[in-house]
Amino acid sequence: MRPILASISHAALRNNLAVVRQYAPNSKVMAVVKANGYGHGLLNVAQGLGDADGFAVLNISEAIDLREAGYEQTILLLEGVFSEAELAIAASFSIDIVVHATPQIDMLDSVQLAKPLNVHLKMNTGMNRLGFVPEEYLTAYNRLQACGNVANIILMTHFATADEDIGIAKALALFETTTASLGNAKSLANSATILRHPEAHADWVRPGIMLYGASPVTGTPAAQFGLQPVMSLTSKIISVQTLQAGESVGYGHRFTANKTTRIGVVACGYADGYPRHAGQYGVGDDRSGTPIAVNGKLTQTIGRVSMDMLFADLTNIPEANIGAPVELWGNLVPVDSVAEASGTVGYELLCAVAPRVPFNIIQAEST
């Protein structure tokens, strides 16, 4: 079997959930498991996060998968429903819905549900993505309040700049002013808000990326928050080549050796989800490559990433031969370091792990 593998640690998930509770001790935790659990597998992560107070997803099929797997906590559809048929399904599975636009209220008004639903009413406080602007928020609230299909209303927003220097003060003030007359529960905080803005923890927090052990704050390593990587993407060296000075490697010959250079070929490429635009040595160019670990030692990629393989510099790891273990990201190589070398964020790399990569779930006892 091709040696690539994504190992998922339940102990790390439990640790990271405990970190969320440490930062936000008075809030209920809605674990965001959209995008197939940020690429880790929806049910794989739900298992490790079984103590969460709720789960947030996008598709009603994911919500049903969670209910059918036996999860009884709150389940929330982050974009709400897309049809009246989905409203009836949400009601029958007791799934909470976001309401972010008027047509969704019209739908609620035009059906007769078996059971009223909890609604998380979203305000647009400056992200300008989903939600009612503050001037329209109370009208939406009053319509929901009068609708027989609505049970509890939770007041919700999402911050655009929780991870930026500018922070969330303006958006939070807008939210608080608009909702000052309402006593409902509130849900405001994504990972960056949980870690950086305790004033916005409120009744529910909605962590995503931090649960997976990556950092929501560019430039601050996840380990600094006590987070542990949940996914280790590993493979093996399947070929070793020795380049003489002047010889090149890979498509486009993007790397040319200026001295004798030992190269390991790793069974992992962009069709596995590894970024093709990962930083690489160029011709006669001393930029660093992307970090990678071979035999437990840090080195870097060289040359261009191909569909199924990439190259690691083994010059300083002479004992590494065919079969040597490789970590693409995980405990030795933070996914955020690979992301930084690729001009993106850990979120994108984790979500992009390809379906052809097999998973190994490590359910070690909690520590």
Ligand X SMILES: *Cc1c(COP(=O)(O)O)cnc(C)c1O
Query: Residue 28 CB, nearest distance to ligand X (Å)?
Result: 14
Helix axes 134-145, 169-178, angle to 10 degrees: 40
Select from 29, 78, 123, 350 the one that contacts ligand X (CB under 6 A): 78
Got the DSSP string for 311-333? EEE-TT-TT--TT-EEEEESSSS
157 binding ligand X? (CB under 6 A): no
User: In the 8-state DSSP scheme, what is residue 91?
Assistant: H
First-to-last alpha carbon distance for the chain, in angstroms, is: 32
Q: Active site residue: 28, 71, 137, 251, which one?
A: 251
Residue window 22-61: x/- pattern of binding to ligand X, with contact defined by CB under 6 A: ----------x-x---------------------------
345 binding ligand X? (CB under 6 A): no
CA gap 183, 174 in Å, rounded: 16
Extract the tokens encoding 6.
């994504």
CA gap 61, 312 in Å, rounded: 40
Query: Residue 193 CB, nearest distance to ligand X (Å)?
Result: 8
74 binding ligand X? (CB under 6 A): no
CA gap 155, 134 in Å, rounded: 12
Extract the tokens encoding 302.
């060289």
207 binding ligand X? (CB under 6 A): yes
Q: Active site residue: 23, 34, 71, 236, which one?
A: 34
- Residue ranges in 268-297 that form contacts with ligand X under rule CB under 6 A: none
Extract the tokens encoding 176.
């608080």
349 binding ligand X? (CB under 6 A): no
158 binding ligand X? (CB under 6 A): yes
195 binding ligand X? (CB under 6 A): no
Active site residue 251: yes
**Radius of gyration of the chain from Cα atoms?**
23
Query: Residue 54 CB, nearest distance to ligand X (Å)?
Result: 12
209 binding ligand X? (CB under 6 A): yes
CA gap 130, 230 in Å, rounded: 30
208 binding ligand X? (CB under 6 A): yes
Extract the tokens encoding 53.
């107070």
- Residue ranges in 163-192 that form contacts with ligand X under rule CB under 6 A: 190-192
Cβ partners under 8 Å of residue 70, min gap 6: none
Nearer residue to ligand X within complex by CB, 38 or 255: 38
Nearer residue to ligand X within complex by CB, 61 or 218: 218
The footprint of ligand X (CB under 6 A) covers 32, 34, 78, 158, 190-192, 206-209, 216
Active site residues: 34, 251
